[in-house]
Amino acid sequence: MTHKPRPDLLESPYAGLPTPRWPWQRSLQYRIVFTYSTVVFLILLLLITLIGIIIYDTQIEQADRQLEIEAFLARNALQDPLNGYITELKEHEQWRDQHGEPHTSSSAPDADDQKSNSANELQPPRTLRLQQAATLYAATIGTRVTILDPSGRPLADSRYPVTQLVNQGQQPEVQMALRKLDRRDIRVDPLSGMLMLYVAAPIQQDDAIVGVVQLSRPMTYILAKVQKLLTTVIVLGVLALVLVTVLGVLLGRRLVSPLIAMKEAALAIASGDLERQAPIETADELGALAYAFNRMVQVLRRSMEQQREFIANASHELRTPLTNIKLRSETLLDVGERDPALTRRYLAEIDSEADRLRRLSNTLLDLALLDEKIGSKQPPTERVDLAVLLRRVADIMELRMQQANLTLLRSVPNDLPLLRVAAEDIETILINLLSNAVNYTPAGGTVQLAAQVVNGRCQLRVQDTGPGILPEDLSHIFERFYRVDKAHSRRSAKAGNGTGAGLGLSIVQAQVEQMGGRIWVESPPGQGACFTVELPLDGA
């Protein structure tokens, strides 16, 4: 079958979609890439922060350890009695014991005052050797060296005159050194305004602390190293992000391509090309989706074919009686007045054909209603005594059986359960099956109506001793308009929903399924046909 594609459907597949906030939201591929890259970016950010902290800590630790070693060496040299530094420290201590705390830097006398007071005995002893030592160490190890007395007062400094310096006694590293413990401190040096790393070590004589050596180094030196390492990490991170984005674009394209193919297949199908299939490229959910999509289209196609077939069959069945009526009415119009016998005969035939038409249209309507209601019909509230119902149906059919010279056997136990079903539906079903049995069983045969409970379900059986149904017809007889012997069926006048048009069994099947049951037929060669209707028991 050829279909004209509808260009409007092919051109604007996004027309019915909500407007996205960002253009990239139109593409699943870019959504994947964006999400993927954002996640990687956040992970990288976290990693870089962590690495930064680790680098910073290790660098500080390293600088601190180095400074501590240097402080240790400096204080060892300072407390060596041969160097004579202790003497100066001791002198200073003695002087302080006698005169109390000298002026601190904030109130320190200026250079002129110092000169004018040089002879003054209130002036603390000079600390030339200590000053020399501070300068010497600073030059050797490249740090600032300050020597303090045990109260934290600066006695010598490698960079600034001690008069400019404030007491260091309260600084954490000095406090700890006075307790013979290690501790670093990072703070801004008020004189240089620079962030500095400080360590201090006690100078001892015979276990007594006579002074403190304080070393400090600018943090810029350490931070520059941290910055360099961190820059390398950030560059690597950005490279990783670029790589991930490129990979994301490639992977996204692979991932999305089956969906694009499916979209195109759907549009082609919507435009009428029902033969179109979505390619199944992967063994994952997308493959399963494509498979389900193709199955859906297949089912749709079959259902459309069935509908077309149904309409063709229905119009064919309607056309036959209509043609018969038309032929007879035309003849009657021509010669009816002259031939009363023919007129009567044709009128009777027209009446019979009109009846057939009515039955057929009723049956078609029933089928349409059953299709509409499948699965939606609520079970009736009242229960039906099946044994009573089956006996009534058998009584109804008894006369027809006798006329056809058939024996009706009943096998209906009295203890059948009460069923929540519509009595008239069960009656229609059984009358249809029994009518078929009457129609297809030769005179002298037997028809059996039986009921029993099997595995918690109620089974109703109609079995005859007729010619049965050939295996090749068995799977088709519940199809609409299917007849085994078309000529025979067309001729037979039937009770119930039967019209001789091959609709009776399809109606029966639809009714049984609507009750939540099922129907099947068995026809072993030479043993007639046996139709079984199985219904769920109450609450099953």
Give the residues lining the site for ligand ADP (CB under 6 A): 436-437, 440, 464, 466, 469, 477, 482-485, 489, 494, 498-506, 529
Instruction: Between 79 and 509, name the residue whose CB sits nearer to ligand ADP.
Output: 509
Instruction: Between 214 and 324, name the residue whose CB sits nearer to ligand ADP.
Output: 324
Minimum distance from CB of 453 to ligand ADP (Å)? 24
Minimum distance from CB of 263 to ligand ADP (Å)? 43
Length of the chain: 540
Instruction: Between 213 and 501, name the residue whose CB sits nearer to ligand ADP.
Output: 501
Instruction: Between 29 and 523, name the residue whose CB sits nearer to ligand ADP.
Output: 523
Instruction: Between 217 and 356, name the residue whose CB sits nearer to ligand ADP.
Output: 356
Minimum distance from CB of 487 to ligand ADP (Å)? 10
Instruction: Between 144 and 494, name the residue whose CB sits nearer to ligand ADP.
Output: 494
Contact 529, 392 (CB under 8 A): no
Rg value, the chain, Cα = 54
Residue 354: phi, psi to the nearest 5?
A: -65, -40
Instruction: Between 202 and 321, name the residue whose CB sits nearer to ligand ADP.
Output: 321
**426 residue type, one letter:** I
Minimum distance from CB of 16 to ligand ADP (Å)? 44
**Cβ of 169: how many Cβ atoms within 10 Å?**
15
Please spell the DSSP secondary structure of 392-445, one letter per residue: HHHHHHHHHHHHTT-EEEEE--TTPPEE-S-HHHHHHHHHHHHHHHHHHSPTT-
Minimum distance from CB of 309 to ligand ADP (Å)? 15
Minimum distance from CB of 508 to ligand ADP (Å)? 8
Residue 186 host element (H or E): strand 185-188
Reading the block at residue 384, the tokens are 């039906």
Reading the block at residue 431, the tokens are 């009358």
Minimum distance from CB of 473 to ligand ADP (Å)? 7
Instruction: Between 226 and 501, name the residue whose CB sits nearer to ligand ADP.
Output: 501
Query: According to DSSP H, which parts of 193-284 are helical?
Result: 219-270
Give the residues across from 185 on adjacent strands.
Answer: 198
CA atoms within 13 A of residue 135's CA, in its CB half-sphere: 9
Coil, strand or helix: which one is 169?
Answer: coil
Please spell the DSSP secondary structure of 449-490, one letter per residue: EEEEEETTEEEEEEEE-S----HHHHTTTTSTT--SSHHHHH
CA distance linking residue 192 with residue 165, whole number of Å: 11
CA atoms within 13 A of residue 289's CA, in its CB half-sphere: 13
Residue 279: phi, psi to the nearest 5?
A: -70, 140
Residue 376 host element (H or E): none
Find how far residue 229's CA is from the centre of its chain: 41
Instruction: Between 249 and 484, name the residue whose CB sits nearer to ligand ADP.
Output: 484
Instruction: Between 213 and 406, name the residue whose CB sits nearer to ligand ADP.
Output: 406
CA atoms within 13 A of residue 4's CA, in its CB half-sphere: 3
Minimum distance from CB of 436 to ligand ADP (Å)? 3
Minimum distance from CB of 301 to ligand ADP (Å)? 25
Contact 497, 363 (CB under 8 A): yes
Please give the residue whose beta carbon sits closest to ligand ADP in the complex: 504
Minimum distance from CB of 315 to ligand ADP (Å)? 17
Minimum distance from CB of 424 to ligand ADP (Å)? 19
Pairing type for strands 407-411 and 446-454 reads parallel
CA distance linking residue 300 with residue 292, whole number of Å: 12
Minimum distance from CB of 536 to ligand ADP (Å)? 24
CA angle 99-101-107, nearest 5°?
120
CA distance linking residue 501 with residue 320, whole number of Å: 11
